[in-house]
């Protein structure tokens, strides 16, 4: 049984669940992904194994970085290049216009999720409604974009396009961002190619292809490319509970703060919490004069 996180490079054409199934088979362990990446996109897809499936939400919450192609002059029903073109505009855009518009897409923004998404409403995924030709009213959700910059501009191409790097919070739909940028430019736009280059502290430069993982699995060496839970959550404060608080700790009960061996490291943030034997037991946080478990490992 493996416990830890694999930094997998998802190729175009695979769904996130496809990758989970492959990793589960190769590792022989329970597995789960940390945030869906569309089949048409590629890049970083951290896969949690064993006990690490319990920390998926902490990884999902991390900042994301994407490299996206914005194709100008047309809108599609899916907001990406895999959809059907539903509107066109002859307007030509200048680099100066792009430079002027992009700063307006930073900070805390409200974004309406696209119909072609896995978001559930009334127990049904939005893309299932969309495939039936049903339009569902969606509420705008707050997202955060920490930075957006142009990387490549193809002004003379047909259609015109440019590439952007986006640093954002979870829940940001990059194809919707591309469509909104097009609207701000006075034209239509949809997303072309998409690469997730970073998810939390997992970078594409350190990612592992499925082919490479198969090679490690064949040699019984998956452990060599597996990041331990402690390493993945290394940014969290660490505390240790003494022998007197051991029973309450391992049973997932509240633990009196007097049983903390290193009280100087107590934090208002969730903390990696260890037994007096230095075994990671879970992630606890302070409530009043006690520690309470958020996640038992």
Would you name the residues annotated as active-site residues?
A: 38
> CA–CA separation, 83 vs 184, rounded Å?
21
Alpha-helical regions (H) of 83-209: 95-101, 126-131, 174-184
Closest CA relative to residue 191, chosen from 29, 40, 6:
40
HEC string of 129-166? Answer: HHHCCCCCCCCCEEEEEEEEEEEEEECCCCCCEEEEEE
Q: Do 120 and 157 touch, CB atoms closer than 8 A?
A: no
Chain Cα centroid distance, residue 70: 21
- Tell me 42's DSSP state: E
- Give the burial class of 107: count Cβ atoms within 10 A of its Cβ; 0-12 exposed, 13-18 middle, 19 or more buried: exposed
> CA–CA separation, 235 vs 275, rounded Å?
19
Angle (CA) 126-5-270 rounded to 5° is 85
Output the six-digit token pair for 83.
């959809």
Output the six-digit token pair for 123.
């127990």
Q: Could you give the maximum distance between any two Cα atoms of the chain, in Å?
A: 74
> CA–CA separation, 254 vs 249, rounded Å?
7
């Amino acid at each position: 049984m493996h416990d830890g996180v694999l930094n997998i490079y998802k190729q175009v054409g695979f769904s996130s669940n496809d990758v989970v199934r492959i990793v589960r088979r190769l590792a022989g362990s329970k597995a789960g992904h940390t945030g869906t990446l569309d089949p048409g996109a590629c890049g970083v897809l951290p896969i949690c194994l064993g006990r690490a499936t319990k920390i998926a939400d902490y990884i999902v919450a991390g900042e994301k970085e994407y490299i996206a192609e914005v194709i100008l002059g047309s809108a599609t029903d899916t907001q990406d290049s895999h959809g059907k073109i539903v509107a066109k505009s002859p307007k030509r855009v200048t680099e100066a216009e792009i430079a002027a518009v992009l700063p307006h897409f930073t900070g805390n923004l409200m974004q309406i999720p696209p119909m072609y998404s896995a978001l559930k409403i009334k127990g049904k995924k939005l893309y299932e409604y969309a495939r039936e030709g049903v339009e569902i009213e969606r509420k705008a959700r707050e997202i955060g974009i920490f930075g957006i910059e142009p990387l490549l501009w193809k002004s003379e191409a047909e259609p015109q396009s440019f590439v952007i790097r986006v640093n954002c919070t979870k829940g940001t739909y990059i194809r919707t961002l591309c469509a909104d940028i097009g609207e701000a430019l006075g034209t239509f736009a949809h997303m072309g190619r998409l690469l997730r280059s970073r998810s939390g502290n997992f970078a594409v430069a350190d990612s592992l292809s499925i082919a490479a993982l198969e090679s490690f699995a064949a040699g019984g060496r998956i452990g060599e490319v597996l990041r331990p839970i402690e390493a993945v959550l290394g940014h969290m404060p660490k505390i240790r509970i003494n022998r007197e608080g051991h029973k309450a700790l391992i049973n997932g009960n509240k633990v009196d703060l007097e049983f903390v061996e290193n009280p100087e490291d107590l934090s208002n943030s969730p903390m990696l919490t260890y037994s007096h034997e230095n075994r990671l037991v879970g992630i606890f946080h302070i409530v009043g004069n006690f520690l309470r478990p958020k996640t038992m490992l």
